[in-house]
């Protein structure tokens, strides 16, 4: 067991650390000033960190509640291009959605350019994001999936709000997300107005969406009235635990394409061709679903809360 540092040595270490970390002086300069070798200065700096005299705080200079270190760790673990983790004191879904929506809006402000085409899915978090965005550099906005729930949770509402910012051409999907069968879906796709939007999918360079958890009552898609009880039982029996757009995902990241031909939405193949695909999702009911979608390798970015991030790292 190491002996506690004496007061004189603590003062010496503090003096050296102040010159090195705050004033930016080199170890050689400090050694010349106080009459020690630069190797001794280096050992004292290491001792200062080990003893707790010197501590480091990694924080966002903008004052946002971003956990930078946790963001970097989660990004590296899942090999993401973008990852932002924020501290949210409340674990209520509504509070988390509001905070994640604001943070996702800020992230888009950092990465979007006028050359990008932005695609949106749906969900309450994206609706919160659309409220937080005050300007967009893009000139085209494409809805990537049809309507699966109440108006305030659909991509249509976010599209309406964002296109009202001016100078943006919206490409909406005025259709239900899931049809009764493949023939009905094909008929909808042939409608000229919808066909125009579907033809925009290859132009999308950045896609943003929520992740749906297939916990009963948590997924707009699972609760779609077009689904019969047999549909739900069948898909759950196949191991579906999450959805992104209309892509159904199992725990191991594998996908289920059983109903792809019934959906009015971007396909998995087309989604994987988009350079940046970002999800904004968090909260206790979403952890399993987020982990599954991360395992699918569909995403290149994630905005989530710190409690969820820790769970994703722990397992």
238-253 pLDDT, tens digit per residue, is: 999 999 999 999 999 9
* 147-151, 248-252, 291-295: range with lowest mean pLDDT: 147-151
Q: What is the pLDDT of residue 108?
A: 94
Q: What is the mean pLDDT of residues 2-18?
A: 81
Q: How much is the mean pLDDT over the chain?
A: 90
Residues with Cβ < 8 Å from 303, sequence gap 6 or more?
83, 84, 85, 86, 100, 103, 104, 107, 278, 279, 280, 281, 282
Q: How far apart are CA 264 and CA 243, in angstroms?
A: 14
Q: How far apart are CA 160 and CA 241, in angstroms?
A: 30
What pLDDT band is residue 128 in, cutting at 50, 70 and 90? very high
Q: How far apart are CA 27 and CA 41, in angstroms?
A: 6
Q: How far apart are CA 99 and CA 263, in angstroms?
A: 30
Judge whether 298 and 268 are in contact, CB under 8 Å: yes
Bridge partners of 82, per DSSP, are: 301
- What are the tokens at 232? 């739900």
Judge whether 255 and 247 are in contact, CB under 8 Å: yes
Encode pLDDT of 61-90 as tens digits. 655 688 988 999 999 999 999 999 999 988
Residues with Cβ < 8 Å from 69, sequence gap 6 or more?
58
Q: How far apart are CA 245 and CA 249, in angstroms?
A: 11
Distance of CA 225 to the CA centre of its chain: 29
Domains and CATH numbers, the chain: 7-51 (1.10.10.10), 68-314 (3.40.50.1360)
Judge whether 82 and 108 are in contact, CB under 8 Å: no
Look at the pTM and tell me if it is higher than 0.75.
yes
Q: How far apart are CA 97 and CA 92, in angstroms?
A: 9
Residue 148 has pLDDT above 50, yes or no: yes
Q: What is the pLDDT of residue 60?
A: 66
Q: How far apart are CA 122 and CA 287, in angstroms?
A: 18
Encode pLDDT of 156-178 as tens digits. 888 889 989 888 999 999 998 99
Residue 149 has pLDDT above 90, yes or no: no
Q: How far apart are CA 222 and CA 199, in angstroms?
A: 27
Bridge partners of 44, per DSSP, are: none
Residues with Cβ < 8 Å from 110, sequence gap 6 or more?
none
Residue 1 has pLDDT above 50, yes or no: no
What pLDDT band is residue 286 in, cutting at 50, 70 and 90? very high
Distances (CA, A) of 267 to 114, 118, 136, 258, 260: 25, 16, 26, 12, 7
Q: Is 171 exposed, middle or buried (0-12, 13-18, 19+ CB in 10 A)?
A: buried
């Amino acid at each position: 067991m190491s002996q506690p540092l004496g007061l004189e040595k603590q003062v010496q270490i503090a003096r050296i650390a102040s010159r090195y970390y705050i004033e930016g002086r080199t170890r050689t300069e400090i050694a010349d000033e106080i009459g020690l070798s630069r190797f001794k200065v280096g050992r004292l700096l290491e001792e200062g960190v080990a003893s707790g005299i010197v501590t480091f705080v990694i924080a966002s200079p903008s004052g946002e509640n971003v956990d930078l270190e946790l963001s970097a760790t989660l990004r590296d673990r899942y090999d993401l291009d973008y990852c932002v983790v924020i501290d949210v004191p409340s674990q209520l879904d509504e509070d988390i959605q509001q905070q994640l929506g604001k943070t996702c809006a800020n992230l888009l402000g950092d990465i979007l350019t006028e050359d990008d085409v932005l695609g949106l899915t749906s969900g309450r978090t994206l609706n919160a994001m659309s409220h937080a965005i005050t300007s967009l550099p893009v000139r085209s906005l494409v809805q990537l999936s049809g309507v699966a729930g109440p108006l305030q949770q659909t991509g249509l509402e976010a599209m309406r709000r964002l296109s009202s910012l001016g100078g943006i051409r919206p490409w909406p999907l005025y259709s239900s997300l899931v049809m009764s069968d493949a023939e009905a879906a094909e008929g909808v796709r042939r409608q000229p107005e919808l066909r125009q939007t579907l033809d925009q999918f290859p132009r999308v360079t950045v896609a943003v969406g929520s992740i749906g958890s297939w916990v009963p009552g948590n997924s707009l898609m699972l609760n779609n009235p077009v689904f019969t009880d047999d549909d739900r039982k069948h898909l759950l029996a196949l191991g579906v635990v999450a959805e992104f757009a209309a892509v159904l995902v199992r725990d191991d990241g594998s996908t289920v394409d059983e109903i792809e031909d019934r959906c009015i939405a971007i396909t998995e193949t087309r989604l994987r061709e988009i350079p940046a695909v970002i999800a904004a999702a968090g909260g206790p009911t979403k952890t399993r679903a987020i982990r599954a979608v991360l395992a699918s390798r569909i995403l290149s970015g994630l905005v989530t809360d710190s409690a969820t991030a820790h769970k994703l790292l722990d397992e």
